[in-house]
Amino acid sequence: MNSAYPTPASPVRVGLIGAGKFGSMFLSQVPTTPALDVVAIADLDPSRARRACEGVGWDADRIGRTTFLDDGGAMAREVDLDVVIEATGNPLAGIRHARAAIGAKRHVVMVNVEADCLVGPLLAAEAAEAGVVISMAYGDQPALVAELVDWARDCGFRVIAAGKGTKYLPGYHEMTPDRVWDHYGITAEGARAAGMNSQMFTSFMDGTKSAIEMAAIANSCGLDAPAMGLAFPPCGVDDLAHVLRPRDDGGILDAKGMVEVVACDERDGRPVYRDLRWGVYVVIEAPNDYAAACFAQYGVKTDKTGRYAALYRPCHLIGLELGRSVLRIAREGHSTGTVSELRADVAAVAKRDLKPGDRLDGEGGYAAYGRLAPAARTMTEGALPIGLAHDAIVRHPIVRGEVIRWDAVEIDEMRTDVQARREMEVRFAPKG
């Protein structure tokens, strides 16, 4: 393995697992980032990965110097790498690949918030024991939110709320892959041309991805999940400090220090003025009267009390920004956010009435969506994590809207992801 922190003259040797949309966006930036050298790409279909490189503009020489494999674990173990990027989006694969990289003393960037949500604290502990860094992926919204939270705390502000925007209406919880493009804002043909997976984007629309990302933010930033799940309040950037403050002060939050997602549509479908659909935010509180006065003096938009203010970023660039995580890890030994505790969790909830013998088909499928909850509640209630809601067989009737519990399904307890989750629950379950 190369030295832990390569010098500027020594490009960081990177291995990418998963050449889908996120991975392709990252690959498009590599030719203009001399500090990065992607030496290997693993994908279930290596020819697809090669085509992805061609499609984003790699020349024949760069492609010829790259090793293409169909086994991400083998790549992580056997190729001389500094950093492994896990970009499959599959929690089971993510666990296996992260552990292979950690075992080989490689740093890991997880473009796999699904795995982070399911067992992130366990992987973080294993990485720390191996002396390597595991990080959320810059360009994905959780890492960008973590950056805003760090900024706020470094400046002495209390974080009141943090999160992102999205497209949401209550009926979207029952969204299925065959209807997603009717609501997302792109044609089915356009989605196929862009390499967009209908089940993945159903997860974006039905609230699951938002729940998973907010869990990752809560568990990496020491924030809490709303007791009743995400509220998705319609809210534009000018109203963040008004809406995302505690109820006692006129807002919607249970308390200070929460995660929340704001909707870009009013409940009747009208667009929110100056919405934050693609962006991220943090709401802060002035710690004293002097700081509050400075807010007013320097044109900071606040709530009517003058004490709550918001900082936001209007967009995120997905894989185009991923190099920041890779270089920060390799050059400085620092992550762009690490899921290190279990404060929030995502329970599987039935999208429709389920009967005995039905098979759960995972995140973004036809059977279940994910709902954010405090981890103490999901542990107490025995809720099945959304990351395990695939290839499990329903044992008894479950009504639409009901939380799916471990004892309601038959699931292979010997699966790697199931065993890792069980271990994580034992080691990191909230106390009390």
Residue 308 lies in a domain: yes
Within 13 Å and on the Cβ side, how many CA atoms surround 221?
34
CA dist., res. 252 & res. 304, Å (int): 15
Residues 265 and 349 in one domain: no
Residues 161 and 225 in one domain: yes
Residue 8 confidence (pLDDT) above 70: no
Q: Which of 297, 315, 333 is the last residue of a domain?
A: 315
Strand pairing report for 280-285 and 308-313:
antiparallel
CA dist., res. 150 & res. 72, Å (int): 32
Residues 266 and 401 in one domain: no
Residue 4 confidence (pLDDT) above 60: no
Strand pairing report for 158-166 and 107-110:
unpaired
Query: Could you list the residue range(s) of the whole structural domain that residue 366 is in?
Result: 345-428
pLDDT of residue 184: 83
Residue 194 lies in a domain: no
From the centroid of its chain, how far is CA 166? 13
pLDDT of residue 123: 98
pLDDT in tens, 113-134: 999 999 999 999 999 999 999 9
Residue 302 lies in a domain: yes
Residues 297 and 151 in one domain: yes
Residue 158 pairs with which residues in a beta bridge? 285
How many structural domains comprise the chain? 3
> Which string of DSSP letters, residue by residue, matches 206-222?
SSHHHHHHHHHHHHHHT
pLDDT of residue 432: 58
Buried b / exposed e along 101-119 (16+ C-beta atoms within 10 A): bbebebbbbbbbbbbbbbb
Residues 241 and 299 in one domain: yes
From the centroid of its chain, how far is CA 228? 20
Alpha helices in 107-187 (DSSP H): 113-130, 141-154, 180-184
Residues 409 and 378 in one domain: yes
CATH number at residue 366: 3.90.1210.10
pLDDT in tens, 187-227: 888 888 877 888 888 999 999 999 999 999 999 999 999 99
Residues 63 and 163 in one domain: no
CATH number at residue 50: 3.40.50.720
Residues 260 and 359 in one domain: no
> Which string of DSSP letters, residue by residue, matches 219-272?
HHHT-B--TT-----B--GGGHHHHSSBGGGTSSBSSSSEEEEEESB-TTSPBP
Residue whose structure tokens are 């080691």: 427
Residues 282 and 159 in one domain: yes
Q: What's the average model confidence in pLDDT over 146-173?
A: 97
pLDDT in tens, 283-330: 999 999 999 999 999 999 999 999 999 999 999 999 999 999 999 999
Residue 178 confidence (pLDDT) above 60: yes
Residue 249 confidence (pLDDT) above 70: yes
Residues 262 and 357 in one domain: no
pLDDT of residue 104: 98
> Which string of DSSP letters, residue by residue, matches 78-99?
HS--SEEEE----HHHHHHHHH
Confirm if 263 and 166 have CB atoms less than 8 A apart. yes
CA dist., res. 240 & res. 276, Å (int): 10
Residue 274 lies in a domain: yes
pLDDT of residue 197: 83
Residues 60 and 129 in one domain: yes
Residue 183 lies in a domain: no
CA dist., res. 381 & res. 373, Å (int): 11
* Global pTM value: 0.94
Q: Which of 100, 122, 139 is the last residue of a domain?
A: 139
Residues 66 and 46 in one domain: yes
